């Protein structure tokens, strides 16, 4: 956008929230606000960051309506996948572009993508807990022997520290999600503190925080479930889903799927019925799909991996993630080879490709492992992908 258009832009930035307002440019011509937003949503994030020095432009770029438009349009851009490796000096986060699904190539093709180094996550001699959506990554940080939560935007390369506890507590887990109706990001945090009435049984507390509001504080959820969450979770259509250990009245433990609606801030419990026998064959991928969260209807899908890759899949242990386009990413759990690689499996075409990640920093390959039980191999800690880009913290 030229300097004249930048001047352009606007007699009054205060009403940028309305998509039908008009702004006067230098020659007297008026542009509808929706046209300005249509232009801006096609601009790379890096450029928008520079333009934020202009107050009129910044008022549009940081407007919630424009952020939703930009987020939706970013789905047309190439996606990215992220990996993190646990080394002795910390957990290193990198990203690479996702292979183009439009031109998948032939079965067995290999290609290379470049790695971009982002940051080192604090580890404290263990796998750091992290949650992510739309390129935003929430992780636990340690300062002065206290743990806090930070959110890093991998697109804008900016981060923020979330409000701390007002009393001594320890973080058990946290989950980052997006409410598409209100267009806001929220963090669900579970922590524990000592209960004076029962000091041997720490009290668990669930709280939620809305990102982007300078005056936002942690809001305690009154009706808290007594489930112990596991690490895995996902956000779909404004609802967080995560696995938890449920204890019934007979003190029997079972795994269940818990939901948390980010808009209503209510919990729900989804019972599983995944006791169908699995085929006694190798190289099968079994996927359970929750078709209806209300009736708890599950559908089982079985995928047969291509014969060309059976020996590779059988030999290594893989971590699996699913892209927004429905493609499976399989990444070796240990950094054994140079260059490191991931396998991309397209269930629609039943084809698989090997993608080498070039440019992984040398110190990651040569670093000592974080934990002794990893036997000298650098471990893969996180694997996730995103097709969308957020303007949070711009």
- Per DSSP, 169 falls in state -
**What is the predicted pLDDT for the residue at 368?**
60
The helix (run of H) or strand (run of E) holding residue 362 is helix 362-366
pLDDT at position 351 is 82
pLDDT, tens digit, 9 for 90 and up, residues 7-21: 444 443 334 444 444
Give me the mean pLDDT over the 292-298 stretch: 81
Most confident of 45-49, 199-203, 274-278, 314-318: 45-49
Closest CA to 259 of 235, 277, 288: 235
Between 308 and 386, the more confident residue is 386
Domain boundaries, the chain: 3-73, 77-386
**Dihedrals φ, ψ of 39, to 5°?**
-70, -45
Nearest Cα to 5, choosing from 43, 17, 379? 43
What CATH number belongs to 77-386? 2.120.10
- Please say if the pLDDT value at position 314 is more than 70: no
Among 178-192, 242-256, 324-338, the least confident range: 242-256
25/23 Cα distance (integer angstroms): 7
- Name the band, by pLDDT with cuts 50, 70 and 90, for residue 2: very low
Question: Of the ranges 108-122, 350-364, 370-384, which one carries the lowest mean pLDDT score?
Answer: 370-384
Q: Report the distance separating Cα 75 and Cα 325, nearest Å.
A: 10
Residue-level pLDDT at 170: 76
CA distance 247 to 259: 17
Contact 365, 338 (CB under 8 A): yes
Calculate the CA dihedral of residues 241, 242, 247, 248 and round it to 10 degrees. 20
Q: What is the pLDDT of residue 185?
A: 95
- Asked whether residue 57 carries a pLDDT value surpassing 80, the answer given is yes
What is the model's pLDDT at position 102? 55
Average pLDDT over residues 56-71: 90
- Phi and psi at residue 159, to the nearest 5°: -140, 165
pLDDT of residue 203: 75
- Give one DSSP letter per residue of 204-231, joined into a string: EEEEEEETT-TT---EE-SS----EEEE
Which of 33-47, 114-128, 373-387 reaches the highest mean pLDDT? Answer: 33-47
| Model confidence, pTM | 0.82
| Residue 312: pLDDT band with limits 50, 70, 90 | low
**Residue 215 — pLDDT band, cuts 50, 70, 90?**
confident
């Amino acid at each position: 956008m030229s300097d004249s258009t930048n001047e352009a832009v606007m007699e009054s930035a205060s009403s940028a929230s309305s998509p039908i307002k008009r702004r006067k440019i230098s020659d007297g011509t008026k542009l509808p606000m929706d046209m300005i937003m249509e232009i801006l949503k096609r601009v790379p994030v890096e450029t928008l960051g520079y333009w934020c020095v202009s107050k009129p432009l910044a008022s549009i770029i940081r407007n919630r309506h424009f952020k939703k438009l930009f987020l939706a349009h970013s789905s047309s851009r190439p996606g990215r996948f992220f990996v993190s490796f646990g080394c002795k000096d910390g957990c290193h986060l990198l990203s690479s572009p996702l292979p183009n699904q439009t031109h998948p190539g032939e079965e067995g093709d290999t290609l290379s993508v470049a790695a971009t180094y982002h940051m080192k996550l604090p580890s404290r001699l263990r796998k750091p807990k992290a949650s992510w959506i739309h390129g935003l990554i929430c992780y636990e940080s340690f300062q002065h022997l206290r743990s806090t939560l930070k959110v890093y935007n991998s697109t804008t390369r900016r981060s923020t520290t979330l409000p701390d506890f007002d009393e001594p507590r320890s973080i058990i887990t946290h989950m980052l999600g997006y409410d598409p109706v209100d267009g806001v990001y929220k963090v669900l945090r579970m922590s524990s503190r000592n209960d004076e009435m029962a000091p041997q049984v720490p009290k668990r507390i669930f709280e939620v925080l809305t990102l982007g509001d300078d005056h936002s504080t942690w809001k305690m959820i009154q009706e808290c479930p007594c489930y112990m969450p596991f690490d895995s979770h996902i956000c779909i259509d404004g609802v967080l889903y995560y696995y938890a250990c449920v204890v019934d009245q007979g003190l029997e433990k079972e795994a269940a799927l818990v939901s948390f609606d980010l808009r209503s801030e209510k919990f729900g419990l989804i019972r599983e019925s995944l006791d169908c026998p699995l085929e006694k064959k190798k190289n099968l991928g079994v996927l359970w799909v929750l078709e209806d969260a209300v009736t708890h209807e599950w559908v089982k899908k079985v995928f047969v991996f291509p014969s060309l890759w059976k020996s590779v899949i059988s030999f290594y242990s893989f971590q699996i993630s699913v892209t927004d386009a429905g493609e499976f990413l399989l990444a070796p759990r240990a950094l054994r080879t140079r260059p490191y690689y991931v396998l991309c499996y397209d269930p629609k075409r039943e084809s698989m490709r090997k993608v080498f990640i070039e440019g992984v920093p040398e110190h990651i390959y040569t670093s000592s492992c974080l934990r002794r039980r990893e036997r000298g191999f650098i471990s893969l800690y996180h694997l996730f992908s995103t097709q969308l880009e957020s303007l949070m913290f711009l």
